[in-house]
Amino acid sequence: MIQQATSVPLLEVRGLSKAFPGVQALDAVDFEAHRGEVVALLGENGAGKSTLMKILSGAYRPDTGRILMDGAPIDPENPHHARELGISIIYQEFNLTRNQAVWTNIFLGREVLPHGPLRAVNFADRRAMRAKASELLKRVGARFSPDAIVRNLSVAEQQMVEIAKALSDDAQVIIMDEPTSALGTEEVAILFGIIRSLKEQNLTVIFISHRLEEVFRIADRIVVLRDGKRIGSLPVREATIDKVVSLMVGRVLDRQAVHRTGAAVSRDPQVICEVRHLTRKGALEDISFQLRRGEILGVAGLIGSGRTELARAIFGADPIDSGEIRIDGRPVALASPSHAVRAGLALIPENRQQQGLVLIHTVRSNIALPNLGVLSRGGVVRERAVHKLVGRYIDKLRIRTPGPLQRVMNLSGGNQQKVVLAKWLATNPKVLIMDEPTRGIDVGAKAEIYAIMNDLVQEGVGIIMISSEMPEVLAMSDRILTMREGRMTGLLERSEATQEKIMALLSYDHTQRFQPKDTE
């Protein structure tokens, strides 16, 4: 029940469910938003936030459940239809054509036609559109001209264009998916100004965010989802950060799927990799840590926290501005991945299809690729050595493939990930960086990957594991480094780490913890 409902909610969702193969993304979710209300939708990755937003905006169709607008049932069939119904969504990735003017973007697909004979030939009324655009831009407080080219605008300004675009549809509900993730502090303040003025214009704003202190600054009400269910809905006045965090996590770990064996206790004191004051402007700031032999260092952070940037910087894929990396105590200059590979590093990248594999090539070629040095003599590849190596790793990692000559694109996600692992394990790395090692793969393959990680640490490999899955981080790591906005916010021992502690370190700024006021 809604606490202080005095009127019919503008938007009302009842018993909405949606399943994808293997996942119940939404399970009988109720949700409501009133006119002039700002609702924050919170939850961990995979909680169902995006699915709910996508159903409201017509990108997905629900399996069951009803959506009501002003008390009347609606059924958004596609994004265009949802817009006509008055629901607009602004995604994290903007939908703007970068090389065109602001006004063209605002009216893209719904060009204004003039009266008179020109209407018949679809002649676009530029003057009317520009005038309307400049009016809409005024409403969102934009100070650039409707003729400005989108690519010359800052991220915050592009967001204004998106909001103006939504307003041009006469949107009553504007959904924003992580609107602040790409913004700086000042830009966030501007955005919040816009949201407040939308609220005054009696519009409803629903937004998804991972930054709790921002939620407390702008939202009227907080709705928490977890595992596809609505766990709570409470006015901001009654909420505290601790309460919200416990609602968000509150899950018991599936200890059978994930567990860490061996070395965690009898830790080797030898430091194999040390990062000192690593800084990359705009992405990473003063990151320092040590990785020991046979240790798994978990790196936890939300999207945009700099966790992937950290992996890429250590591996030499992105240039660093300052700082030092030492391998076995010696400083190394890792100007490119080829240097990093020679120094004994390996990176399992975040996106295996785009960054880890040559999909159109065979299992064999993919595994051979970073190992051609040892597999060749005088520049000529020793086919027999390749054959032996590839066969060994197919067996060792139990890669399910009809044979080494199968194209990687025909394998399942889990087996593709094992091919990526195989190609790097064959290089005998000292330090293995794994960025989201189990993303998008099934439970069975996950368990196998954890088993491989356990074996590796037994052999003395040091693993840096970046993950957004809390149970994985907690179960596999010996120590946990938390990141937020490019900075380290903590380095926890396994024994002291809890979901709540980590979530708190990821989600909000300690310095603001007890002063959720709008002062920047």
Partner 1 sequence: MTTTAKPAAVKHPTGWFRFLRAQELGIILILAVMCVFLSLSTKTFLTSTNIFNVMRAFSWIAIAAFGEILVIIIAGIDLSVGSTMALAGLAAGFAYRADQPMAVGLLAGILTGAAVGLVNGLIVTKGRLPAFIATLGTLSIGRGLCYGLTNGQPLTEFPDSFRTLGQYDLPVLGLAIPLPAIYMVILALIMGFFLARTVWGYRIYALGGNEQATALSGINIGRLKLLVFTLSGLLAGIAGVVMTARLGVASPTAANGYELDVIAAVFIGGASTSGGEGTIFGALMGAAIMQVLRNGLVLLGFPAYWQSAAIGLVIVVTLMLDQYRKRRGG
How do the residues of the chain divide into helix, strand and coil, expressed in percent and rounded to 5?
Answer: 35, 25, 40
Using the minimum distance from each CB to partner 1, give the nearer residue, 118 or 374.
374
Q: Which one of 99, 185, 252, 395 is in contact with partner 1 (CB under 8 A)?
A: 395
What is the greatest pairwise CA distance in the chain?
84
Q: What is the token pair recorded at 83?
A: 């817009």
State in angstroms the smallest separation of the CB of 448 from partner 1: 17
Q: Is there binding between residue 21 and partner 1 (CB under 8 A)?
A: no
Kindly give, in sequence order, each residue whose CB lies less than 8 Å from that of residue 335, ignoring residues fewer than 6 positions away. 316, 319
| CA distance readout (Å), 58 to 29, 76, 283 | 17, 5, 34
Q: Is there binding between residue 23 and partner 1 (CB under 8 A)?
A: no
Q: Is there binding between residue 394 and partner 1 (CB under 8 A)?
A: yes
Q: Is there binding between residue 370 and partner 1 (CB under 8 A)?
A: yes
Q: Which of residues 238-277 bind partner 1 (CB under 8 A)?
A: none
Q: Is there binding between residue 110 and partner 1 (CB under 8 A)?
A: no
Distance CA(361)–CA(457), nearest Å, equals 30
Candidates 88-96, 235-243, 373-381, 468-476 — which segment interacts with partner 1 by CB under 8 A? 373-381
Distance CA(201)–CA(35), nearest Å, equals 9
Q: Which one of 347, 397, 449, 476 is in contact with partner 1 (CB under 8 A)?
A: 347
Q: Is there binding between residue 168 and partner 1 (CB under 8 A)?
A: no
Q: Is there binding between residue 317 and partner 1 (CB under 8 A)?
A: yes
Using the minimum distance from each CB to partner 1, give the nearer residue, 230 or 423.
423
Helices (H), 201-276: 212-218, 241-248
Using the minimum distance from each CB to partner 1, give the nearer residue, 23 or 372.
372
Using the minimum distance from each CB to partner 1, give the nearer residue, 110 or 387.
387
Q: Is there binding between residue 441 and partner 1 (CB under 8 A)?
A: no
Using the minimum distance from each CB to partner 1, give the nearer residue, 108 or 374.
374
Concatenating the DSSP letter of every residue in 159-212 gives HHHHHHHHHHTT-SEEEEESTTTT--HHHHHHHHHHHHHHHHTT-EEEEE-S-H
Q: Is there binding between residue 413 and partner 1 (CB under 8 A)?
A: no
Given a contact cutoff of 8 angstroms between Cβ atoms, the answer to whether 34 and 10 are in contact is yes
Using the minimum distance from each CB to partner 1, give the nearer residue, 262 or 319.
319
Given a contact cutoff of 8 angstroms between Cβ atoms, the answer to whether 324 and 273 are in contact is no
Using the minimum distance from each CB to partner 1, give the nearer residue, 316 or 516.
316
Candidates 45-53, 55-63, 108-116, 334-342 — which segment interacts with partner 1 by CB under 8 A? 334-342
Q: Is there binding between residue 314 and partner 1 (CB under 8 A)?
A: no
Q: Is there binding between residue 357 and partner 1 (CB under 8 A)?
A: yes
State in angstroms the smallest separation of the CB of 463 from partner 1: 18
**3 state DSSP class of 56:** helix
Using the minimum distance from each CB to partner 1, give the nearer residue, 143 or 384.
384
Q: Is there binding between residue 333 and partner 1 (CB under 8 A)?
A: no
Q: What is the token pair recorded at 435?
A: 């960025």
Q: Is there binding between residue 387 and partner 1 (CB under 8 A)?
A: yes
Candidates 257-265, 290-298, 358-366, 488-496 — which segment interacts with partner 1 by CB under 8 A? 358-366
Candidates 35-43, 49-57, 101-109, 397-405 — which segment interacts with partner 1 by CB under 8 A? 397-405
Q: What is the token pair recorded at 347?
A: 């990176």
**3 state DSSP class of 227:** coil
Q: With contacts defined by CB under 8 A, how many residues of the chain interact with partner 1? A: 41
307-312: long-range contacts at Cβ-Cβ below 8 A with a sequence spacing of 24 or more? 307/435, 307/466, 307/468, 307/483, 308/350, 308/435, 308/466, 309/280, 309/283, 309/284, 309/486, 310/278, 310/284, 310/466, 310/483, 311/347, 311/349, 311/350, 311/433, 311/435, 311/464, 311/466, 312/347
State in angstroms the smallest separation of the CB of 423 from partner 1: 7
**CB-based burial label for 229 (10 Å; 0-12, 13-18, 19+):** middle
Query: How many other CB atoms sit within 10 Å of the CB of residue 485?
Result: 18
Q: Is there binding between residue 373 and partner 1 (CB under 8 A)?
A: yes
Q: Is there binding between residue 483 and partner 1 (CB under 8 A)?
A: no
Q: Give the residues across from 296 on adjacent strands.
A: 463
- Residues interacting with partner 1, by CB under 8 A? 315, 317, 336-338, 340-342, 347, 349, 354-362, 364-365, 368-370, 372-373, 376, 379-381, 383-384, 387-388, 391, 394-395, 403-405, 423
